[in-house]
Amino acid sequence: MDLSTHLSQGAAPIIAILRGITPAESPAIGAALIDAGISIIEVPLNSPEPLGSIAQLQREFGAHALIGAGTVLSAQQVEAVADVGGRLIVSPNVNVEVIARTAALGLEPIPGFLTATEALVAIAAGAAHLKLFPAPSLGSGHIKALRDVLPRQTEIWAVGGMGAHNLTEWLHLGARGVGVGGSLYKPGDSTATVSQRACALIGCWRDHCRR
């Protein structure tokens, strides 16, 4: 299942970024997220044993969640993620080789960009979902200006400083969704803490949908 299909089936447009998680923590934290309603999960590759965590999450939740890797910088890393069952490939930059290899393996690329030039390069390489990162750096008007010039079907995800305090704002500005890291999970956080934060995010999203 690709990301657009997953979203069309009602999934919350929230990517949980679990930077620093370990394989031992992954099942409990993953369950807390899934139970709250967050079913898109990214494990950055600069986490301890990231492929082990991705494999664990995929085994436990892959039937009804999209699991993948973040901070993916090379085609070799894409292949390693694919080997353990990951479906999403999130990068901090636009790397045409990474996007092409991701698409060739049937996975979903989400490259990071800041400018319209970078976005158009990523789109030409085959990316339909793009990560605006760091989203707040050029102000709220930046995403509106981008939406005016990018192809209508392009989906922009706001990442960097996202949380329950500003999720609704970014969705209103035209983001398809958000990636949430430290305000959702930090290494050492309890399952209860992550569950509480995830429920708050889902509550904000549902409030936005009701407007």
Active site residues: 42, 131
pLDDT > 90? residue 35: yes
What average pLDDT does the segment 11-29 reach? 97
pTM of the model as a whole: 0.97
Quick check: helix, strand or coil at residue 13? coil
pLDDT of res. 211: 72
Q: Dump strand ranges (E) for the chain.
A: 14-17, 40-44, 66-70, 88-90, 108-110, 112-113, 129-132, 155-159, 177-180
Assigned fold of 3-210 = TIM Barrel (3.20.20)
pLDDT > 90? residue 7: yes
Average pLDDT score over the chain: 96
Domain boundaries, the chain: 3-210
pLDDT of res. 210: 78
108-127 per-position pLDDT tens digit: 999 999 999 999 999 999 99
